[in-house]
Amino acid sequence: MQEMLIYSAVAGLATALGAGIVLVLGTPSKRVLSLFLGFAAGIMLAIATLELLHHTREMGQTVKGIIGFLCGVLLMHLLDYLIPHLHFRNGSCDQEQAEMLKVGFLIFLGIAVHNVAEGLAIGAGAIAWPELGLSIAVAIGIHNIPEGMATAVPLRIGGMAWAPLLFMAAAAGLMTVAGTAIGGLVFQAGAGTIAGALGFAAGAMFYIVGDELIPHARNYHHYWANIGLVGGFVLGALM
């Protein structure tokens, strides 16, 4: 299990790598921003439908997965209601910056929850078969890079400095380690617990995609938003 914790830490820190890429390349144009937001939406939809919810069906825990899904949607709705009141709007932020900060924080929260669920999958896979846990960790590390980019773009547009931005990206990624440690324990409690966690992550991601990512992406450029959405979904399906 110690090796799995190390593998999951490396996979999680790929989120910070994605954020670092954005910081090095600089703030993108509106077309590129639209493309990135659409891309993130596509990847999230693919992961939520083809990976997380699909796993709950394979486990024979569809009902618990759906219950977790609805709980995830409800939590993100509550956060969406509370976040505008967290003093994001001040003299140094215009309306666009405030909105992008909100988007960035919601993506951060969604990815953090998502990574806990993925960590559960790593831990469960490692117990069932160590090589399976490693394979899951590699796949997670690959798609954590564009997720880190998706987190960094709106936060950077919103005016966040590079240091706290990288810290947030790394923190979201390292939630995978917590999930892996928990997964090694809760797997003993039965498949229902993991199915609920996977459904919860899927619900959180669905809410972010429908309420924030797609509307903002299309607001910047509807054509590039659609290209990013399709491209992200295809990449997510291939992963």
The C-alpha atoms of residue 63 and residue 196 are separated, in whole angstroms, by: 9
Q: How far apart are CA 3 and CA 171, in angstroms?
A: 20
Compute the distance between CA of residue 141 and CA of residue 75 in angstroms, rounded to an integer: 26
CA 79 to CA 105: how far, in whole Å?
A: 10
Q: Are 176 and 11 in contact (CB under 8 A)?
A: yes
Q: What is the pLDDT of residue 47?
A: 79
Predicted pLDDT at 166: 92
In terms of C-beta density within 10 A (0-12 exposed, 13-18 middle, 19 or more buried), how is residue 1 classed? Answer: middle
pLDDT in tens, 189-208: 666 777 887 788 788 778 87
Instruction: Please tell me the distance from the alpha carbon of residue 9 to that of residue 231, in angstroms, as a whole number.
Output: 27
The pLDDT assigned to 86 comes to 45
CA distance 141 to 147: 10
Q: How many other C-beta atoms lie within 10 A of the C-beta of residue 12?
A: 30
Residue 1 per-residue DSSP state? -
How is the chain split among helix, strand and coil, in percent rounded to 5? 90, 0, 10
Distance (Å, rounded) from C-alpha 122 to C-alpha 136? 6
pLDDT means per 10 residues, the chain with 239 residues, are: 83 90 79 81 84 83 90 81 53 67 81 78 66 72 77 84 91 89 71 78 82 83 91 84
- Torsion region of 180: left, alpha or beta (phi above 0 gives left; psi -120 to 50 gives alpha): alpha
From the CB of residue 11, how many other CB atoms can be counted at a distance below 10 Å? 28
What confidence tens digit (pLDDT) does each residue in 97-113 have?
A: 777 888 888 878 878 87
pLDDT given at position 53: 87
Q: What is the pLDDT of residue 21?
A: 87
| Cβ atoms within 10 Å, residue 128 | 11
Residues 48-77 pLDDT 10s: 888 778 888 888 888 988 998 998 889 878
- Which distant-in-sequence residues (6+ apart) come within 8 Å of 149 by Cβ? 18, 19, 21, 22, 36, 40
